[in-house]
Amino acid sequence: MIIKSANQALAYARGEMSDGFTVHVPEEIDVKSIRTSLGLTQPEFSSRFGFDVRAVQDWEQKRRQPDRAARVLLTVIAHEPEAVIRALALMKLRLITQHQLKPLFGRSVYPTQ
């Protein structure tokens, strides 16, 4: 049973399987620890990952708790910050390219989702 579960977790991590696997979203997350492990200031962290700097300050001072979606993103940042940076950079590149090409084609060049 343990081997089977480990194999399923590995298959999920590789993206080979998604059925039957439940994602765990932590109730609490140490935002300051994540930020400092990346060597970023609060403004740098906020800018790089799309958070409001006041929210980051509130999270770190325990005045507010990140919502579920923010906790998911923070968990990914904690384990794979480069993946988040790549994804956000690609999105920015698409927006810039779309903005530049729209006048040429008169419409969006990327499908909206």
The pLDDT tens digits of the residues spanning 29-71 come to 999 999 999 999 999 999 999 999 999 999 999 999 999 999 9
**Pair (75, 90) in one structural domain:** no
**Pair (6, 40) in one structural domain:** yes
**Pair (72, 106) in one structural domain:** no
Percent share of the chain, pLDDT over 70: 74
Count the Cβ atoms, other than its own, within 10 Å of residue 84: 18
Residue-number span of the structural domain to which 72 is assigned: 2-79
* pTM value surpassing 0.85: no
Tell me the pLDDT band of 20, cut-offs 50, 70 and 90.
Answer: low
**Pair (73, 99) in one structural domain:** no
pLDDT of 106 reads: 58
**Pair (57, 110) in one structural domain:** no
Our count of domains for the chain comes to: 2
**Pair (64, 33) in one structural domain:** yes
Average pLDDT of 17-26? 75
**Pair (75, 107) in one structural domain:** no
Q: How far is CA 91 from CA 60, 63, 95, 100, 107, in A?
A: 28, 31, 6, 14, 18
